[in-house]
Structure 1
Amino acid sequence: MYMPASFRQDDLAALHAQMQASPFALLASVGVEGVQASHLPLLLEPGEGEFGTLYGHFAKANPHWRELQGGTEALAVFSGPDAYISPSWYAAKAEHGKVVPTWNYIAVHARGPIELIEDPERLLQIVSRLSDQHENGRARPWAVGDAPRDYIDTMLRAIVGFALPIRRLDGKWKLGQNRSTVDQAGVRDGLAASTEPREQALATRMTISN
């Protein structure tokens, strides 16, 4: 990922928090069939390894997993809020007009070798933990154990799990840090005034980061 120094995020807690806030990731790898990519919900275990370990699963019908045998490296991309940035929000527009549009965003890239998991008990642990994470806080949370065990066993035979111990973790917070303070304030105000939730979310992140 192209990484100007002003946009680099190295705080491990902040990186983990972003990954957990946007757990639906793009998992990409390169194999004999070329570049493969799958969109998957991932579970982060922050305390496993130097940068944490990711867990998830493929549908067995998805050919992507077959490209990942033997510890192939994969890249998991977690995308945070993003938005188009209008030059009209910059104070510099009125001063000299030498401004152009850009796009602000937050992204985290996690790389590591894939370990495929087909053992039924380990698969059960993965899907149970994923479900528990997303059911947490609901008035009547659903659990894997609510379904008949023979049905769950059938569903487990239709998936292939994986672990991705993170060997490299990169975060990019492109929030206008290369602009003047007044330009950054103009962008925050412009985004905050929007009716688009993702633009409002980005304005909030700009406020937190400054």
Structure 2
Amino acid sequence: MPTQFAVADQADMLDLIAANPLGALVRLGPGGLEGDHIPFELAAPTDAAPHGLLRAHVARANPIWRADDASVLVLFQGASSYVSPLLYDVETAGGRVVPTWNYQVVHAHGRLRAIDDPAWILGQMTRLTGRHEDARDGWKVEDAPREFIDRIVRTTVGIEIAIERLEAKFKMSQNRTPDERARVLAAMA
């Protein structure tokens, strides 16, 4: 990875995950590589999990939770955009410019742990919903009939991934001149 695009600051990586919680979870399944897009809750780093924890829930019918203790990769993507070579100093480069793509991505590596605990699942659902609903006027889990929520919880399994390693690349035209970066930024706006 070119050094100008590498991200070393764990806080920057965790900020991207928190702002873009829909992760693509990749694992090796019976038929080869499998992927699931799941909204995650990011729990802050602790002594036991120095890179943080990813928590989510899936339908019991989803086989992902049966991959208990499997090594997984979760991909989180931030901003991205096509970059036209017309935004570069084409004449100065003697016409040697090509299109590219600017993007931000974080790869979180860890082991999946299945959690079949109704209280844990309900708590995770409640926190995740609360984060994405308006605090004052949004929908709350307790707004639904209790017997309905109990049935949903019974048909759901929690998953947790202690992040063992984080890698990130923020390719945002850092290898271009300040004028070119300003043009790219203006075009993206």
State the TM-score, normalizing by the size of structure 1: 0.84
2:105 matched to 1:107? Answer: yes
Gaps of 5+ in 1: 192-199, 201-210
Give matches, 1:17-166, under 5 Å. 17-48=15-46, 49-66=49-66, 68-69=67-68, 71-91=69-89, 93-95=90-92, 96-137=94-135, 139-166=136-163
Choose between structure 1 and 2: higher strand proportion: 2
Q: Mean Cα displacement is larger for which, 118-127 or 141-150?
A: 141-150
Number of equivalenced pairs: 186
CA distance in 2, matches of 1:119, 1:187: 49
Code of the residue aligned with 1:79 in structure 2: it is: Q
The Cα shift of 1:136 comes to 4.1
Code of the residue aligned with 1:189 in structure 2: it is: A
SS at 1:140 equivalent = coil
8 A Cα contact 1:27 1:39, kept in partner: yes
Gaps of 5+ in 2: none
Choose between structure 1 and 2: higher helix proportion: 1
Residue aligning to 1:203: none
Question: Which of 6, 9, 12 does residue 8 from structure 1 map onto?
Answer: 6
CA distance in 1, matches of 2:55, 2:43: 8
SS at 1:132 equivalent = helix
Residues 64-97 of structure 1 deviation map (CA, whole Å, 9 limit, x = unaligned): 322x12x101111111111111000002x02211
SS at 1:100 equivalent = coil
Question: Which of 174, 178, 197 does residue 175 from structure 2 map onto?
Answer: 178
Report sequence identity in percent. Answer: 38
Code of the residue aligned with 1:140 in structure 2: it is: D
SS at 2:91 equivalent = helix
The Cα shift of 1:31 comes to 2.7
CA distance in 2, matches of 1:38, 1:103: 24
SS at 1:94 equivalent = coil
8 A Cα contact 2:65 2:113, kept in partner: no
Residue aligning to 1:167: 164
